[in-house]
Homo-oligomer: A and B are copies of this chain.
Amino acid sequence: MAERAFHVGVDIGGTKIAGVACDDRGAILSQVRDRTHSPTRGDLSVPRIADLVRETVASAGLPMDAVRAVGVCAPGPLDVASGTVIRVPVLKWTNVPVRALLESELGVPVVLENDGNAAAYGEFLHGAGKGLRSLAFIGLGTGIGGGLVLDGSLYRGRHDHAGEYGHLCVEKDGRRCACGNTGCLEAYASGTSIAAIAREAFAGTGRYDADALASLDCRAVEVLAKEGDPIALSIWDQVGRKLGLAVSALVQSLDPDLIVIGGGTSRALGLFYDTMVDSAKRQMFAVLANDLRIAAARLGESAGAVVAAFLAAEAHGLWKREDHP
């Protein structure tokens, strides 16, 4: 029997890191999750990522030397060729050479990919976009990311920056964004911004004391809206309107087969779906509005890590897309 190849994928989110170990047939052997380490110097957390890889491998009952490649997906912008994360405002990372640091920690080839690209590719291969030619993925999480599969291929752009819809301007001179600009989609519709907007909105009501207000998070705003709270509902309404503007820009300029909405915050899709669609259709040609297709992501929370593992395997010739249709 030929020696089996294993690969590990890591998904670095704004609040969580996930690791999976996969075999050469795509089966998940183990999964490990942890909170994201976010010190002020990003490179300090690379050893923590290495520890997560080791834990993931150990909990699959494998030795480290059975691992052929490690794929890491992280929020962009990043440089795929050099394996460097250029800037992640929510993590306060700037120019972190993740691939080089992690390869020297682990002694295994590492591939870095934008998390939105990984999710888009995953949804295209096995999720909501299976069988289509083109899709735009919008990932609503702690921040907002995204990715594009166009005419059957992952489209990365010149600086591997394609799909960064979070920083489309949806309100001129609007809210300050973590990126330093104003009016970005992320300043209205990321989990972080939804929580911040809610804290501002409830601060004037006297309903919460300072501690309760400080601990109000995006999940709480979702629960409040589902209970019918009008302030919370109006916040999700704004999320829908701003997302709708971004969707209309994507559809008017790219005309993909499908828009896929994913990420942790998309759990609340029912709270903003109708407003998003209304707002999008208002800025769209009728021929596009009448055939607008928006779907929730189908792959679960581990998808980013699994796709990262496969992108690493693919990059090192250990896996071919056509072998596993």
Given contacts A165-B253, A169-B249, contact A157 B181 (CB under 8 A): no
The B-contacting residues of A in range 225-283, CB under 8 angstroms, are: 245, 248-250, 252-257, 282-283
Given B159, B254, B283, which contacts A157 in the complex, CB threshold below 8 Å? B254
Bound state CA distance, A160 and B168, in angstroms? 23
Question: Is residue A77 within 8 Å, beta carbon to beta carbon, of the partner chain?
Answer: yes
Closest Cβ–Cβ distance, residue A247 to chain B (whole Å): 11
Residues of B within 8 A of A164 (CB): 252-253, 255, 285
Residues of B within 8 A of A159 (CB): 255, 287-288, 291
Residues of B within 8 A of A146 (CB): 253
Per-residue CB contact flags for chain A residues 67-85 toward chain B (1 = under 8 Å, else 0) read 0000000000100000000
Contact B77 A161 (CB under 8 A): no
Bound state CA distance, A255 and B77, in angstroms? 11
Given contacts A167-B283, A181-B282, contact A158 B253 (CB under 8 A): no
Bound state CA distance, A284 and B148, in angstroms? 18
Contact A283 B181 (CB under 8 A): yes
The B-contacting residues of A in range 140-165, CB under 8 angstroms, are: 146, 148, 150-151, 153, 155-165
Contact A161 B249 (CB under 8 A): no
Question: Is residue A31 within 8 Å, beta carbon to beta carbon, of the partner chain?
Answer: no
Q: How many copies, total?
A: 2
Shortest Cβ distance from A185 into B: residue? B252
The B-contacting residues of A in range 179-235, CB under 8 angstroms, are: 179, 181, 183-184
Shortest Cβ distance from A167 into B: residue? B252
Residues of B within 8 A of A48 (CB): none
Shortest Cβ distance from A248 into B: residue? B169
Bound state CA distance, A169 and B241, in angstroms? 13
Given B155, B255, B256, which contacts A151 in the complex, CB threshold below 8 Å? B155
Residues of A within 8 A of B (CB): 77, 86-87, 133-134, 146, 148, 150-151, 153, 155-165, 167-169, 171-172, 179, 181, 183-184, 245, 248-250, 252-257, 282-288, 291
